[in-house]
Amino acid sequence: MTDEAIENDQSREPTGQERARTVRDAFGVGCAVGLSGFAFGVTAVANGLSVPQTCALSLLVFTGASQFALVGALAGGGNPFTAAAGAFFLGVRNCFYGLRLSTLLRLPGRVRPLAAHWVIDETAVVALAQPGRRLARLGFAVTGLTLYLGWNLTTLLGALGAGSLGDPGAWGLDAAGPAVFLALLAPMLRTGTERATAALAVVLALGCLPLLPSGVPVLVAALAAPLVLAVPAGRPAAGEAAR
C-alpha cells in the first residue's frame, strides 16, 4: 500500500467486519507460530542451557531464527562470540522491517521502544498486509501480543519437559526452527534477484559447513546479497536497444 493511500485512509474508520478479519488473521498467525517456542525450549535445554537461560532468550531476544541459530552454534561447539554474531546478523533484518513499519504505523514516541521489541517477520507481514494504518496497528498489536505470550509460554513448557522428551532430534524438533523460518521466507522471494541471493546463500553455507567452525557459515552466507547485487543487470541487445 502506498503512503498516499495510507494517508487517505486516515479519515475512514474501519468497519467491524474489517476489524474482525484483521484480529482473526493476526491471532491465527500468532498462535500458529507461537507453538514453535516449544521446540526451542526443548532444543535449548537439551543442548546445555538452563531453564532460566532458555526463558531469558525468548523474553529478551524474541526472534526465533536468531535464537535457534545461537543454540545450534553453541551445541555444535562454536565459539560463543561467533554464535552470537551469527544470531545478530540474522536479527538485523528486523531493522529493515522497522524502517517500513515506522512509516506505516506512526506510533507515539512513548510506545515505540516497546513496539520495537515486537518487530519480527510475523508482525511485519500482518501489518503490511492491511489496507490502512488503523488496521495495520491492530494487526501488529494482536500478532505481537499473541505471539509473545504464546512463544514464551511454550518455551517454558518445552524447557521444563526437555528431560522427559530426550533427544529433540529423535522427534524432529531440531528441524522445527529452520522449517518455520523457511516457510516464512519462501513467499517473500518474488524476484529473480531475491531467489538468486537465497540460492547463493544456501550454497555458501553448505560449502563452508565442513570447513569452518560452527556459526561461521551463517556469517559467510551473508555475503550472498552484496555478491548478487554486484553483478550488473543484463543489458538489452544492440538490436533491441535500437528499436
Q: Residue ranges of the domains in the chain?
A: 3-188, 192-233
Banded model confidence at residue 150, pLDDT cuts 50, 70, 90: very high
| Residue 231 predicted with pLDDT over 90 | no
* Residues whose CB falls within 8 Å of the CB of residue 201, separated by 6 or more in sequence, listed in order: 221, 222, 224, 225
The tally of CA atoms less than 13 A away on the side-chain side of residue 140 is 28
Higher model confidence: residue 187 or residue 147?
Answer: 147
Lowest-confidence pick of 74-83, 96-105, 122-131: 74-83
For 177-187, what is each residue's pLDDT tens digit?
556 556 656 66
Residue 173, pLDDT score: 56
Lookup result for grid cell 479519515: 11
Rounded average pLDDT over 101-111:
90
| Residue 236 predicted with pLDDT over 70 | no
Residue 242, pLDDT score: 44
Whole-structure pTM value? 0.68
Q: Report whether 104 contacts 133 (CB < 8 A).
A: yes
| Residue 64 predicted with pLDDT over 70 | yes
Higher model confidence: residue 181 or residue 135?
Answer: 135
| Residue 192 predicted with pLDDT over 90 | no
* Average of per-residue pLDDT values in the chain: 79
Residue 137, pLDDT score: 93
Q: Which of 57, 35, 144 is nearest to 94 (CA)?
A: 144
| Residue 7 predicted with pLDDT over 90 | no
Looking at beta carbons, which pairs linking 48-53 to residues 24 or more positions away fall under 8 Å? Answer: 48/74, 48/75, 49/74, 51/156, 51/159, 51/160
Rounded average pLDDT over 198-209:
85
Rounded average pLDDT over 101-119:
90
DSSP state of 174: G
Lowest-confidence pick of 9-18, 50-59, 230-239: 230-239
Percentage, residues of the chain above pLDDT 90: 23
Identity of the amino acid at 112: R
Percentage, residues of the chain above pLDDT 70: 77
